Amino acid sequence: MNYILKNGYLPFINEIQDVYIKDGLVEKIGRDIKPIDLDTKIIDLENRIVINGFVDGHMHLDKALIGEKVINKSGTLYEAIEIMSKYKHSMTKEDVKERSKKILDLSFRNGTRFLRTHIDVDHKIQLKSIEALLELKEEYKELIDIQIVAFPQDGIIKNSKSYFYLEEALKMGADIVGGIPAIEEDSIKHMNMIFDLAMKYDVDIDMHIDETDDASSLIINDLAKLTIANGYIGRVTAGHCCSLAANEEEIILPIVELIKKAKINIISLPSTNLYLQGRGDKINIRRGIAPVKYLLDHDIPVAIGSDNIRDPFNPFGNGNLLEEILIAAHGCHMGGEKDLNKLFDMVSIIPGEALKFQYNIKEGNKANFIVIDAKTKADSIIRQANIYGYFKNNVFETNLINN
C-alpha cells in the first residue's frame, strides 16, 4: 500500500505539506500531491504534527522495571545503589531482554524512534546486558534506532575487571563509551581512562556528570577542559549536570563558556533529578535540575531524556517523552509559548542532531515517522496529545492511544 498523507504540519520548517510514501519510502514532499497509481491511500492529517519521532537521549534499559520486583523503601539514591548492587548478581541476559523489550515497546507506542541507552558493564554483570542490548538493537532496527553506551557504573580505577569488560563491550559493538567520574576518588583519572578508550576505538563519550546538590562539585568544568585538550570537541555528552543550578551566575558563566567551546551536549533528566535531588535541604528545597533555560540562552544544545523508568532510582516513567517535557516545563519554569516550543525541540530535533542520529524527513528516506494529534508543539505538551498514527512494517496505523 502506498500513501499520501495530506496537510501534515512539519514544525521544524513551519509548513503544511503533503507526504507521498511509496513502497515504504518517502517519494515526495510538497503541496497538492496527486496519486500516480491506483494503489494509493489518501489520509488527510488536518494540519496535525508530523515529525521523525521523539529522541530519548538518556535511558537505562537494563535497569528498567526492576522497581516492580525490588522496592526502594526509602526512595533515596543510596538505597537504589545498594539494591542494584545486590540485584545484579541475579540478573541474566534473558531478564534484561524481557524488561528492556517492554520499555522499547512502550516507548515505540509513545512515539520514540531514536534512543540512547546506558548499559552497565562491570565485574558483576560482565557483558550479559551488553549482549542483550546488541541483540535487541538488531531486533528493533526497523522500529527504533538504538545507540548503546557501555557504562562503568561501579568505576574502573580500582577494578581492572570492570575496565576489561568496558573495553570488551566496545570491541563487541557498543556505540559509545560512558563514564561516571564522581564514583571514583580521582575523577580526573577516571575521565582520562575513558578518553583513552574513546580515542582508541574512535567512539564518542557520554558521561554522568555532577548528579549532586553539592555546589562545589563541578566536574563538568574538568570534562570540558579534557574535551578540548584531547581534541574531542563536539564528541562529548554530559548527563544530569545538577550542581550547576546550585551556584551563582558568576561561578557558572565561565564554565558554561567552556562547555560551549568544547561543544558538549547537555542532557537534563528532570523526572529522576526532581525525585532524587534536594533531599538534604530542610528549607528552600532545591529542584536539582540542570539550569536548562540558562544553558539554552547561552546556545548550549540541551536535550531531555527519560533516564530511569520504574527502577530503584525512580519509581515513575512511561517511556513517554511528552510526559517528560511536561515535568520539565514545571520543574524548569518553562511554561511560556517559546519555552514549550523549545521543550518540544529538546526531545526531537536537538538530540536528533546533537547525538548524530539521521534525524530528518526527506525524499528517499524510510517512512518511519509519527503523527501527533495536535497542531502546535505547545498544544501537544499541554494536552499530552496522543500519537494519532505511525508507520509500522510499511503500514500507516491510525487512531492509536498512548499507553
Q: Which residues are annotated as catalytic? A: 211
* 112 touches 319 (CB < 8 A): yes
C-alpha cell at 214: 553539592
Give the torsion sign (CA, 268, 274, 277, 281): positive
Within its chain, how far is the Cα of 156 from the centroid? Answer: 24
CA–CA distance, 220 with 226 (Å, rounded to integer):
10
* 317 touches 375 (CB < 8 A): no
Query: Hey, what amino acid is at 147?
Result: Q
The 3-state secondary structure of 75-117 reads CCHHHHHHHHHHHHHHCCHHHHHHHHHHHHHHHHHCCEEEEEE
Rama region for 217: left / alpha / beta (φ>0; ψ in -120 to 50; rest): beta
Query: Hey, what amino acid is at 94?
Result: E
3-state secondary structure of 206: strand
Q: Strand (E) positions, 15-89?
A: 15-22, 25-30, 40-44, 49-51, 54-59
CA–CA distance, 177 with 151 (Å, rounded to integer):
7
- Determine whether 86 is exposed, middle or buried from the number of CB atoms within 10 Å of its CB (0-12, 13-18, 19+): exposed
CA–CA distance, 335 with 52 (Å, rounded to integer):
24
Query: Hey, what amino acid is at 58?
Result: H
CA–CA distance, 144 with 177 (Å, rounded to integer):
20
Alpha helix stretches (DSSP H) within 114-176: 128-139, 160-172
Nearest to 370 by CA among 100, 109, 15: 109
CA–CA distance, 257 with 270 (Å, rounded to integer):
23
Nearest to 33 by CA among 47, 17, 46, 52: 17
3-state secondary structure of 42: strand
